[in-house]
Amino acid sequence: MAVERSEPTYRLALPEPTTSFEQDAEYCVLDLGHGWTEYRIHDYDELFKIPGLYEKLFYDILQCQSPAVVAGALAEQLDAVGVDPSGLRVLDVGAGNGIVAEELRARGVGKVVGIDILPEARDAAERDRPGVYDDYHVVDLTDLDDETTENISAGGFDALTCVAALGFGDIPPAAFRAAFDMVAVDGFVAITLRDDFLTDGDTSGFAGLISSLLASGELEELAATVYRHRLATSRDPLLYRAVVARKRRPRG
């Protein structure tokens, strides 16, 4: 359950909506009582340090709906195949301060383990949503030693979630692949990424990765939908694709 928060002791503002920025260059300005300071909104380590700021910016103002969309889509597929969510063991990659885990718990998921590269994310999750994760690992998935990999994999995961964290250098394809390898065959995969990251013109690397997983049979898509992830700071909609799939043994 989320901790009750007092009224924020800061002022927050966005650029004028007539100004448009690339998604990873968007910014806000914040006054903590000592004058206005600019923050790039993808600098999550700085945002997480201020209680309630992440939710205020992304959920109250920019109307992010990805955690609810993905958790709901996963729950629908579990129900369709008769899987009880209370027995599911989920690895939540790019966990942040626990909003995805909170949505999963609300749908009856029994175990959630978080992974994030930022210690500030883990600290924020423990501060804002204590107990929502069974465990939380602060690691770089592209630089794991065998001991760390075994320690995380001991959770016996049969589901992977990665919500609004793929691309922009936050979680590169190699990191996603490392997490994917920790999930059991026939496990569920529920992810979101920007819709144009799956086009032929993609430069993030995810179009190639997802295409290769589908072609090899390692990934079987169950459902996909394009939806409004959130508003840009220009107040235009940012479209993402939510995908629920199952991990399979590669063909051949």
pTM attached to this predicted model:
0.90
Measure the CA–CA gap between 132 and 112, rounded to whole angstroms.
7
Task: Identify the pLDDT of residue 168.
Answer: 59
CA distances from 230 to 5, 78, 227, 235, 240 (A): 23, 26, 9, 9, 9
Question: Are 8 and 53 within 8 A, CB to CB?
Answer: yes
- The answer, yes or no, to whether residue 245 has pLDDT greater than 90, is yes
Give the Cβ contact number of residue 8 at 10 Å: 14
Radius of gyration of the chain, Cα coordinates, nearest whole angstrom? 18
| Cα-based angle 142, 150, 157 (whole degrees, multiple of 5) | 90
Contact 160, 213 (CB under 8 A): no
Distance CA 78, CA 102 (A): 17
pLDDT band per the 50, 70, 90 thresholds, residue 4: very low
**Per-residue pLDDT tens over the stretch 7-39:** 567 899 999 998 889 888 999 999 988 899 999
What confidence category does residue 199 fall into, taking pLDDT thresholds of 50, 70 and 90? Answer: low
CA atoms of 230 and 59, how far apart (whole Å): 8
CA distances from 123 to 89, 104, 205 (A): 22, 20, 30
Question: What are 50-100's pLDDT values in tens digits?
Answer: 999 999 999 999 999 999 999 999 999 999 999 999 999 999 999 999 999
